[in-house]
Structure 1
Amino acid sequence: MELKDVDLNLLVVFNELLTERRVSAVAAKLGLSQPAVSNILNRLRKLLGDELFLRTSRGMEPTPYALQLSEPIAYALTTIHGALNERTMFDAASSERRFTLGLSDIGEVSFLSRLLERLDALAPHVSVSTLRSRREDLAQAMEAGAVDLAIGTLSQLPAGFFQRRLFLQRYVCMFRQGHALDKGSITQEEYCAAQHLVVLPPGSAHAQVSDFIERRGIKRNVRLTVPNYTPVGYILGSGNSNLVATVPESYAIRCVEPFGLRYVAHPFHVPHTSVNLFWHAKFHRESGNKWLRQVVVDLFSNPEAAGGNEAC
């Protein structure tokens, strides 16, 4: 097949279908009708000799051949777009761009309010949306440009990503005001005797804290286990709760005032986790991405803990 036989617009639709997985969503995003998108998909199928996308209850699922084509096509389109817009600098004051961030629930609590305050001052027309997904799906979305940046404790991302450490996160013990342990510090014996709320986010580095405690042979009276941090403040702060939760300090700081909570240093030497900023190499030089990265670094980076850019 020769390049002269390929209409670039076909590849644009192909790339959007990989991200959106629905004809209606692609049509709305590109300003086309649904029949026009379906017609383009049929042309691609004939040109490439493959179904490319199959209709399922979850949307348009790519075939193995479509997945094989996804990375080189996304990279080629990004390169072309970047070359055509190389002279276009990001103007934060006038931009109406929507940035999408990959954040966990705890990341939304820890970062979004301060980030929006800074954007109000620097870029009043810029908006932000967030996305939570599995590590594999997030990596694909960042590669396709559907997610601009991710912040968190992600690990084992595939090749092609940059990361920068923002800070090292320590863990603390959090409970309601007036709890029997609300006395400035707690001993290891008091920690073990307490009733615990344990947070085990699937696939997150935060879950490794519980693994560490168990490997150390530390016995806890676990009364409640939840898969994310969203309900923790409400549960600890309700009624006369006797529960204690081991949580990241940045999260504890945000919960103390609204939920009437306290926190103290952890009595065991729980390893710190590294909170990093991630972006795909294809957008390393894209001006809007560079600008937002710098805003995040300025807001959240601890100079003593942060390192330079590191390729994954």
Structure 2
Amino acid sequence: MTQLRVGIVGVGVMGSDHAERVARKTSGARLVAVSDADHPRAEALARRLSGGSASSVRVVEDPLDLIAADDVDAVILASPGFAHAEQLFACLEHGKPVLCEKPLTMDAASALEVVEAEHKGGRQLIQVGFMRRFDPEYAALKQLLDSGELGRTLLLHNVHRNKSAPPTFRSEMIVRDSMVHEVDVARWLFGDEITRITVHTPKPTSLVGDGVRDPQLAVFELANGAMADVEVFVNFQVGYEVRCEAVAERGSATIGLGSGVFTRAGGQWGGAMPADFRVRFEQAYDLEVQRWVDATLRGEIDGPGAWDGYAAAAVCEAGLESLQTGKPADVALADRGKVLG
């Protein structure tokens, strides 16, 4: 196989962005089909990416039919999280490699079932869309920490701020849909599992509805004794800001300090702040999808797998418990050796 025929399930903000990426920027891949509950949106996207006609990119009404289609070699899942479990099981059943946007599933139990089903099939097919691992700054930080140049990594400080979020974005979603990225970053940079999480909720911004706890401050405790914290603020108003500082025995390293050209003029200084995640992490998404395509053509995966999606789901589940109780919550994680041994 020299070209991967890709189908995309879910063409909202993230899915349509991926569709454009596969159709126009990714080598070795061709977008052949899309599916979305909003059929007019899917039709409009297919026409645009087909140059005005729907002959090149077809619209499939049922996402399970897209997954099963003979002319679809691999699938990108950008559908709502509640639909992922059924769609992932379908991908496994049909032997289709899949790049699944987070979350893997909506809870740890179903995520573990996905891990077990993939393992039973004898081949890794699932890659999870934790794209920060592909961002050049994060990749450089990982390389530096792994080199041992700074000694052992002891602490990790994270900031994750969005300009705004819709009124439907509730407190639980801040944990499951935003904080989950820092969960994966901490596991990846430390190379170990998170065993306990505490979610603190300071005085909320006045710009959210009743009951929404924004911002949130979480503390992760890892099995190796290291710790990480993250401030998540999804109605920051200024722009999209993501920073990470690693503190080690012989120094520290920080990424995400600026975007674009830093200027000094007219008695002011500063730089641009991106409006949303698609701008800040555009290169990471490009690299993620390209490497997924390249690896899939080799019969491999090249990124976070189903276990990483499950582990993140387990941490977020404990995070939701801590959010409700205000107390630390232990992470209930299955024994990896027994599951994948």
Common fold: TM-score over 0.5: no
TM-score (norm 1): 0.28
Higher relative contact order (CA 8 A, sep 6+): 1
Higher Cα radius of gyration:
1
